[in-house]
Amino acid sequence: MSIVAEFRLVHPDIPTLDALARADGMALTAEQVIADDPRHPTVFFWAEGEAFDVFEAGIDDDAGICEWERIESLDGRRLYRIDIDGAASVVIYPTDVEVGASRLGFSATAAGLDVRMRFPGRQELETYFARCREQGIDVSLTRLYGSERDDDFLTVSPKQREALVAAAERGYFRVPRESDLSSLAGDLGVSAQSASERLRRGTEALVREAFDVDDRDA
């Protein structure tokens, strides 16, 4: 059975992310991807925000982008065609092709690239994440569900998701840790015990769903 995953990819060399980091509040939403050559895809992005000039200066400087064009300006948004350089240090699209995955949608902000993707199965998902990590890309899974239950969130409760995402963003899972449990709990507005329980239960739920772990009697 195919599965659908929603996850965030973070690496400073992912094309457009450095430009977005410079342009406060800008966000991109992909409209279309064309890729005759998987290492040299062309992406059409709608951009929203206030710092268009700063963003455009940033993509001019982005080594991962060989060419770009502003296609349209409409109601405070701009449509861009962005050609990804095949020699860029981080190119993700070939991994999509390798594992037979289909991008259902993706967007980008300064925080990272948020992707919704359909995989043939769990093994392909694991391979995809492994390939990303081999390139030094930080991968954070946020949702995982079966294709026949697209509207059914199978794994993590909203509060658990909030805690897991906050922990990842604040470096709680890094070695060494960049944030402690007390600070994380304060950011979430809960006790340290509650934050710990949400992290533990959310992590367990993700592991069980990602690796098809069944309950076993002790």
For position 213, what pLDDT does the model report?
62
| Confidence grade of residue 66 (pLDDT, cut at 50, 70, 90) | very high
Q: How confident is the model at residue 36 (pLDDT cuts 50, 70, 90)?
A: confident
pLDDT reported for residue 216:
53
Q: What is the predicted pLDDT for the residue at 209?
A: 65
The span from the CA of 81 to the CA of 45, in Å, is 7
